[in-house]
Amino acid sequence: MFTPDDLLESRILMIDDQQENLDLLNDILTAKGYRHLVALTDPREAVARYATWRPHLVLLDITMPHLDGFEVLRQLKSVEQEGLLNVLVLTALQDGETRLRALELGAKDFLTKPFSIPEVAARIHNLLEARILYQQVLNHSATLEETVAKRTAALRSAQFEVVERLARVAERRDPETGAHIIRMSRACALVAAAGGWPEEEVELLRYASALHDVGKVGVPDAILLKPGPLSPEEWVVMRRHTAIGAELLGGGTSRLMLTAESIARSHHEWWDGTGYPEGLAGEKIPMPARISAVCDVFDAMTNDRCYHHALEPEEVFRHILAARGTHFDPVVVNWFEEALPGILAAVKRHA
């Protein structure tokens, strides 16, 4: 709410080519206690003064030289949002067409001259009261939006924190996995950014891709940590980590969980349809999984594992180029090539 003193602090701009009319309005408003009054006899000055002073109310004549009141109304609408433009038209014109035209151009009220002093004072009071209340509603709405945005950001941050901690479950099983999760997920974000993804989508992919191997919690240590190549029977068990991961992450409703589930299930699918677990091909493979596939292979091959020694990044990148169109989506490979300098810098930071 507001106090009577708030009302008297309102800024009022008076525009009329007749100085005696302005003097009368000034006397009326001063007697009522209004403190901030500006009078203009030249309507050509109205828009500039309005833009700098931002009055709460404009008292506007219609019949004036150079610019009539209708044109002043049009110009004022260009510098003020419609809900805050507050104009009381005061004119000697009494025909209905003039009244209707003024109201259609944005005037809030209309009063003909000669006017009753008590009536004009009452209308000015009511218009200012409505303007102040409307401004308070806008301010309250802005505060609510800011509060909602902060709470949404806090919930999003908490959700991402849970995802990071869940990713550490896999890290506990395999000491090599922790740094791999960090490097691989950051590489996914860089590739998506190179593809022109919005910042929010890039961030979502970064966190969702960190869970790509969470299903390995269901793989026995004898297979997960085995030095050297796996037997065909062991590969069958190892490949189940995609289904296990999808099952662990399934049933979620947030975009983060849905994206993580699709990555966990499909990051070993191949572009040509020869991957697993479902043999998906081409664009049937979710795009987040296609990006994760390239970044997962690159990081795995450029770092020591219990079953192989690290290869040089240049050699691994040549392998990725050779597998474009078979293992990997050609478009994603192009994005990966563009992002490669940033990926190599991230690798150094998280070696």
pLDDT per residue as tens digits for the range 301-319: 987 665 567 889 999 999 9
Arithmetic mean of pLDDT, 52-73: 94
Assess whether pLDDT exceeds 80 at residue 256: yes
Q: What region does 308 belong to: left with phi over 0, alpha with psi -120 to 50, or beta? A: beta
Q: State how far the alpha carbon of 2 is from the alpha carbons of 10, 130, 225, 284, in Å.
A: 12, 11, 71, 60
Assess whether pLDDT exceeds 90 at residue 12: yes
Q: Which of 48-52, 136-140, 200-204, 286-290 has the lowest mean pLDDT?
A: 136-140
Cα 308 to chain centroid distance, Å, stands at 44
Mean pLDDT, the chain, whole residue set: 88
Cα 205 to chain centroid distance, Å, stands at 16
Q: Which helix (H) or strand (E) holds 111?
A: strand 109-112
Tokens of residue 336, six digits: 């990966």
Long-range contacts of 260-265 (CB under 8 A, 24+ apart): 260/163, 260/207, 260/208, 260/209, 260/211, 260/212, 262/286, 262/288, 262/289, 263/208, 263/209, 263/211, 263/212, 263/288, 263/289, 263/292, 264/211, 264/212, 264/213, 264/214, 264/215, 265/289
The pLDDT score that the predictor gives to residue 74 is 92
More reliable by pLDDT, 12 or 251: 12
Beta bridge partners of 324: 328
Residue spans per domain, the chain: 4-144, 174-349
Confidence of residue 6 (pLDDT cuts 50, 70, 90): confident
Q: Choose the CATH number for 4-144 among 3.40.50.2300, 1.10.760.10, 3.40.50.1820, 3.10.450.750.
A: 3.40.50.2300
Long-range contacts of 79-85 (CB under 8 A, 24+ apart): 79/47, 79/50, 79/51, 80/50, 82/106, 83/134, 83/138, 84/131, 84/134, 84/135, 84/138, 85/58
Arithmetic mean of pLDDT, 273-294: 97
Domain 174-349 has CATH 1.10.3210.10: yes
Arithmetic mean of pLDDT, 26-48: 95
Over residues 65-101, the pLDDT tens digits come to 999 999 999 999 888 865 689 999 998 888 889 989 9
Arithmetic mean of pLDDT, 258-275: 96
Confidence of residue 335 (pLDDT cuts 50, 70, 90): very high
Beta bridge partners of 57: 12
The pLDDT score that the predictor gives to residue 309 is 78
- The letter for the amino acid at 67 is L
Q: Which of 140-144, 216-220, 321-325 has the lowest mean pLDDT?
A: 140-144
Arithmetic mean of pLDDT, 115-127: 92
Over residues 147-183, the pLDDT tens digits come to 777 776 666 665 666 676 667 666 666 655 567 888 8
